[in-house]
A and B are shown apart, each in its own frame.
Chain A
Amino acid sequence: MSNVFIAFQSNEDSRPLVDAIVADNPEAQVVYSPGLVKIDAPGRLVIKRETIEEQIGRPYDLQQLHINLVTLSGNIDEDDDQFTLSWKH
């Protein structure tokens, strides 16, 4: 099964995103390199607004992830509550 991945600038704002992803995606692997944090997962990775809000203790608009996003790989599906990367094959 191919990996999907998402990478963020490594900073205070992206920390709760990374924590939320790890919480909701048990097979996710996180790798840090200077300035960058990259998260790989086999086949599917989901980012849930609710989990992020639990992390930061206030409302979160999923579109805010654009601010610290660097790159990603996979088919994207987004609505108000979650952002998913996946492969169908």
Chain B
Amino acid sequence: MDKRVEKNKHTLHDLYAAMTHDLHWETTYQPMDKVFPHDRYEGIKVHDWEKWQDPFRLTSDAYWKFQGEKEKRLYAVVDAFAQNNGQLGVSDGRYVNLLKLFIQAITPNEYYAHRSFAQVGRSLRGDALRIATQMKSADELRHFQNQTHAISNFNKYFNGMHHAPQWFDHAWYLSVSKSFAEDAFSAGPFERLIGLSFGFDDLLTRPLFASLMSAVAHNGDLSAVSVGFTAQSDTSRHMTMGQEAVKFLLQQDAANLTIIQRWIDKWFWRSYRLMTFAAMMQDYMVPKRMMSWKEGWDMFVQKPGEALFAELAQLGLRKPKGWEQACDGKHHISHQAWNAYYGFGHTLAFHTWVPEIAELDWLSQKYPDSFDRWYRPRLEHYAQLHAAGQRLNNQSVPMQCQTCQFPLIFTEQGSGRWTAYRETQHAGETFHFCSDHCEEIFSNEPEKYSQANLASHQILQGQCYNAGVQENTAGFDRQAAVLDFCQIVQGHDNGDFKNSEDALNFENWGAGQDPQEAQL
């Protein structure tokens, strides 16, 4: 007998359970542990996967609908920007170097996160969480491709963007970023979930993709700001996933607490170090300045982080060990990094420079406790050297931290004066670190971190020259030989911004914003 079916509106709750957990079954012809071989070895215990819920309850059809809409809008902006020669309308030719560092250091990380979360998306037994991690994998591919496409237009007109994957794999300063991405990629699925979705996404991406992007808008790059903002809308889902995963795992089994705490300590610290690049961008690479790194840190890291950890304290979690030192670092790290990279400016695939006097004044005003005392005098000295035809060009190979792989340029907590050095022994060798926290990361997994390919060591071992290049020959220039090996084009990609090909082109094209004209 035919019946009339009544229309029954299903709520998000009902739909979500049917659309996720219910798709799963316990395999019997193949053992579950063979289908899921990687989710036990980290020691994390889960008793009921159905307790993890995505607060957004995003189903596949909604994902396509909203992501498709976002892409439609984004590419309309990117296309219009390119058609209107938007690259000529940015504030100042120096700004483009922010994009260079971005595509060299950040964009490859998006690719790693994409592949990394495909693995997480296959490895975990919980279906709802697996769907969320697969969405993150697709989203990160999106970010990689959006950034590549937006920067493609700038790549046509400026140097330092054309060979980012090559530089990422070989250039000494980018091993900070490569080792970060690979540290996560080589870790297990739970560590990646907690480390990247919580430690990185939830604690530290907001200053890079919110406050820095607002500054980018202020400098006239509508294309990049659109890419950045829409990427962060995806990351809002990822950080939510990470936050829910932390709570879920802590509630699942008491044994998970020590493991999760250690991962949060590690990934907060490694992510904080990676964000040094963002600090440099915010304070030195946006010619029309808005908010300082310190202000962005307060608004987007310190305050929300304090709130978050006050919440998680109820589950037994404490703030990451490096929290106080990182908050202290907000006065210093952008300046320390710029100083260092300025001095190594001939070995980078982006330009560096001494800021103008008005810009130095802005930095003095924004950093009353540190800039005039520790950093301004050095920058003014560099300006004098440059004017006298002796632009600083550090010929030495920088000593790198074994863990984060930054050069050892950071100072002790509470001091702008004393560079921090740590060292430890393992298997008959001495290893060097920038901080207690990097040393502790090493000591927890010495076999892993002692494998790392430190570029400074490789250079000194003569492994960074093209075939046929000999050290003990007349006219041998190690810096030039290494640049050739890395395929950084000398005189085009590297060196001071002043009199660079980029600077001359920018001026010849009549590009830049009239300082008198109104802005966004």
Residues of A within 8 A of B (CB): 2-5, 7, 9, 33-36, 38, 63-64, 66-80, 87-89
Contacts and interface: CB of A to CB of B under 8 A. Distances in A.
Contacts of B211: 33
A72 B306 contact: no
A87 B312 CA distance: 10
Contacts of B70: 66-67
B165 interface: no
Prevailing SS type, chain A contact patch = strand
A76 B55 contact: yes
**Max chain A Cβ within 10 angstroms of own Cβ: one of B11, B70, B232:** B232
**Max chain B Cβ within 10 angstroms of own Cβ: one of A3, A33, A75:** A33
A87 B236 CA distance: 17
Contacts of B206: 71, 73
Interface in B221-256: 225, 229-230, 232-233, 235-237, 240, 243
B236 A78 contact: no
Contact of B308 (A34, A69, A73): A73
Contacts of A69: 233, 236
Interface stretch (B56-64, B176-184, B320-328): B56-64
Contact of A87 (B55, B217, B240, B310): B310
Contacts of B225: 34-35
A81 to B, nearest CB: 10
B76 to A, nearest CB: 13
B13 interface: yes
A73 B307 contact: yes
A35 B213 contact: yes
Interface residues of B, number: 45
A64 B214 CA distance: 22
A35 B229 contact: yes
Prevailing SS type, chain B contact patch = helix
Contacts of A3: 303, 307
Interface string B72-108: 0100000000000000000000000000000000000
B311 A7 contact: no
Contact of A68 (B13, B233, B307, B313): B233
Contacts of B56: 63, 66, 76, 78
Nearest to A36: B214
Given A34-B217, A73-B206, 14 more contacts: A3-B303, A34-B215, A34-B519, A35-B213, A35-B214, A35-B217, A36-B213, A36-B229, A63-B56, A67-B73, A70-B210, A71-B210, A73-B304, A89-B311
Contact of B304 (A5, A70, A78): A5
**Max chain A Cβ within 10 angstroms of own Cβ: one of B12, B225, B233, B314:** B233
B445 interface: no
Nearest to A63: B62
B232 A78 contact: no
A9 to B, nearest CB: 5
B170 interface: no
A2 B306 contact: yes
Contacts of A87: 307, 310-311
B66 interface: yes
List 3 tightest A-B contacts by C-beta distance, closest first. Answer: A2-B307, A34-B217, A35-B217
B323 to A, nearest CB: 16
Contacts of A89: 307, 310-311, 313-314
Contact of A79 (B12, B210, B520): B12
Contacts of A33: 211, 214, 290-291
B13 A79 contact: yes
**Max chain A Cβ within 10 angstroms of own Cβ: one of B62, B209, B213, B310:** B213
A35 B55 contact: no
B69 interface: yes
Contacts of A74: 307
A72 B236 contact: yes
Contacts of A73: 206, 304, 307-308
A33 B520 CA distance: 9
Nearest to A32: B214
Interface string B382-411: 000000000000000000000000000000
B226 to A, nearest CB: 8
Contacts of B73: 67
B446 to A, nearest CB: 36
A78 B73 CA distance: 25
